[in-house]
Every structure is written in C-alpha cells, then in structure tokens.
Amino acid sequence: MRRLVLLLLAPLLLAADFAPVKPGVPFRFPADHGAHPAFRTEWWYVTGWVQPKSGASAQAAGIQITFFRTRLPRAKPNRSRFATEQVIFAHAAIADPATGRLRHATRIARSGFGLAQARVGDMDVAVDDWRLWRGADGRLHGHVVVDGQRLDLAFTPRQPIILQGRAGYSQKGPNPSEASHYYSWPQLATSGTLAGKPVIGTAWLDREWSSTLLNPRAVGWDWLGINLDDGGALTLFRVRDTNGRALWAGGSHRDRAGKTQIFQPQDVDWQAAGWWKSPRSGARWPVRPIVRYRLGSQWQALEIKPLMPDQELDSRSGGGPLYWEGAVTVPGGRGYLELTGYSAPLRM
C-alpha cells in the first residue's frame, strides 16, 4: 500500500480512467502474479535478509528488489508504435552493516522495445537488465546491480500466500475506494550470490495493485513486514493524518500452524520512538517505533530495532520523496520497515 512510485508519477495520473478496486474479487494464480494493466499502478516488492552461505562470521545484510508498473492516462488516440501507456520503475538496495552503508540504485523506462516489460499472466517484470520473474519450477528469481554489486537470487516458496485485508481487498483509508488488491508471500527461502559470493537467507514478497490515491488528509504511512523465527509472519501498517494520528491501520498475523488473524484499525497502536536525525537531510525518523497489536484478546508490544540507523533514501532530485526504508529486527524475527511523510507531508 505504501509504494513510492505513486509519488513520482502522481501528477500524470489525475484524469485517467482506471479499473476500480472492489471487494469480493477472487484471486487467480499464476495470473495474479503477473501485471494488471487496467489498474493505475502495482508493485512487486521483495525484501529480505541474506548472509554468507559459508557460515562466515560476516553480519547479515538487508536486500530490497522492487518493481512498479504505472499506467499513464490515455491521451488522444495515437497509433504510433512508439506510444505506450505503461511505465516500469525499479528500485534496489543493499543494507551492509559491515560498512554502515546503504547502497541503492533505480531504473525507469517505458514498456516495449526491449527496454521494459510487465508480463500479463505470470510474474515477469524487467527494466533494462534488471528482472524479477517466476520460473517453471515455481521459484521466483531476481537480478539487479546496485552500485557495482550484482545481486542474483532465487526465492523458494515454503508457505501459502497470505491474502491481506478482506480476502485480498485491503482498505487503506476511511473511504472504501481507498484500497488495493494485496497479497503477501512470506518465509521465502533465499539463495544465490551477492557480489559473486554465495548467500542464503529468507525473504518476503508483497504484491499490490490499485487505482486510488491515499485519503487527502493522509500525510504519510508506516509499514512493517516481519518473517518470524518460528515460521510465522506479521504485517502491520498505519496511515497518518496531519496530527500524526492513525487515519487507518491494519495488518495480519499468521502463526506457524497457519492460523491467520486480520487486524482491524482498532487492533493496531503505532508509537513513533527512537528518533534518528539524518546528517544529510536534517530529517528526523522514528527508526525504533513501538507497535502494539491485539492478537486474539491479548495486546502484544513489539520493539523494533534497525539493522543500522542510516537507511534513508532521498529521491527528491528525481521528483520523488525523502523516506526511510530498511532492514529491522524484532524479538523473534526480522524484516523491513518503511517510514514516509516525516520530513514533509506527501502530496499525492
């Protein structure tokens, strides 16, 4: 729900005719792994942790591979073979605690002519030589190059998909139209190479497609996805208003046995804490939030710790936002945290 391609392309998307998000639409796989070009935007979002396969003492690193597809508004009929409605945007990052450095890179291109694609019918999305796809054996594969470091990974599903929200209809605001079709694939066994060295780990795939922006009162959001050490999975999010209060909240918990609870807004209490100030931007980020969630009848408190404080990403030079997104740990698990709208309200 929190994908930043909306911010990069929002000025282009105000008057177009897009497919609406509706509850009760059944998911169909493998087709829903692929693109949905009638909707305004969608994303394939992989985050995870990897460590040396050799068992060396090097610390685990955080990895992110993200592809976005956005449909531009239809203008006057144009039969030119150069005309296209689809733009593919990709972002990748490696959080390396050994150096304390966040390496990141982006790619963007219009679809077609071998520059970019988002296949309909199954997962296969690419920009230039970056690619994320599903193989015939059911495994997912990702290839990107970040700051000269080549990342080639395979992601093997070990658990069923989680349909977020109401059977995959995930509301993001008080209005029913503020929603997405949303599923997650946690606990992906990960293997491959990072900078030519074998690595293994665990990853998480988020898939969403939507045609609506956030509520006009929203200034930003917080999102957390955690692979639990016992095999469970936890998703928590909130959308904030101008006073820093939750305009909407939600998420899910699936235990190791497969029992799933979908959280309602009243089940999530997100407290900003552990502020870190960026020496570059001057922005302050709550990189150690405390999140309370109601599991069954009991409230649980989750303390979040970043792999390293400096995981700030600045895309303002390209018209995008300043935001924080990085690898984090919690007692009994690890995953990724995203924070937006803390330096300035998002204008979408």
Q: Which amino acid is at 267?
A: D
Amino acid 265: pLDDT? 97
* Tokens matching residue 240: 């904030």
Give the Cα separation of 140 and 132 in Å (integer): 7
**What was the pLDDT predicted at 15?**
40
Q: How large is the average pLDDT for residues 118-136?
A: 97
Using left for φ > 0, alpha for ψ between -120 and 50, and beta otherwise, residue 83 falls in: beta
Rounded to 5 degrees, φ, ψ at 193 are: -135, 145
Bond prior to 321 in cis (omega within 30° of 0) = no
Give the helix ranges, DSSP H, for the chain. Answer: 5-9
* pLDDT band (50, 70, 90) for residue 119: very high
Mean pLDDT along residues 143-151: 95
- pLDDT the model gives residue 12: 44
Q: How many CB atoms lie within 10 A of CB 298?
A: 7
Q: How far is CA 135 from CA 77, 154, 196, 199, 252, in A?
A: 36, 10, 22, 20, 28
What is the rounded distance in angstroms from the CA atom of residue 186 to the CA atom of residue 79?
A: 42
Beta bridge pairs of residue 299: 294
Give residue 8's pLDDT: 44
CATH number at 5-340: 2.40.370.10
> pLDDT at residue 9 above 50?
no
- Rounded CA gap, 80 and 199, in Å? 46
CB neighbourhood size of 166 (10 A) = 12
Q: How far apart are CA 345 and CA 322, in angstroms?
A: 10
296-346 pLDDT tens trace: 999 999 999 999 999 998 777 655 678 899 999 999 999 999 999 888 776
Residue 159 phi, psi dihedral angles, 5° rounding: -140, 165
Identify whether the C-beta of residue 147 lies closer than 8 Å to the C-beta of residue 162: no
Higher per-residue confidence, 98 vs 3: 98
Return the structure tokens found at 277.
Answer: 């100030």
Residue indicated by tokens 């976005």: 68
Q: Residue 74 — pLDDT band, cuts 50, 70, 90?
A: low
Selection from 158, 268, 178 nearest residue 223 by Cα: 268
Residue 80: the pLDDT is 53
Predicted pLDDT of residue 16: 53
| Secondary structure (3-state) at 79 | coil
Average pLDDT estimate for 10-20 = 61
Q: Phi/psi class of residue 3: alpha, beta or left (left: φ > 0; alpha: ψ in -120 to 50)?
A: beta
Average pLDDT over residues 194-205: 96
Query: Are 193 and 53 spatial neighbours (Cβ–Cβ below 8 Å)?
Result: no
Tell me which residue of 187, 293, 197, 283 sits closest to 238, measured CA to CA. Answer: 293
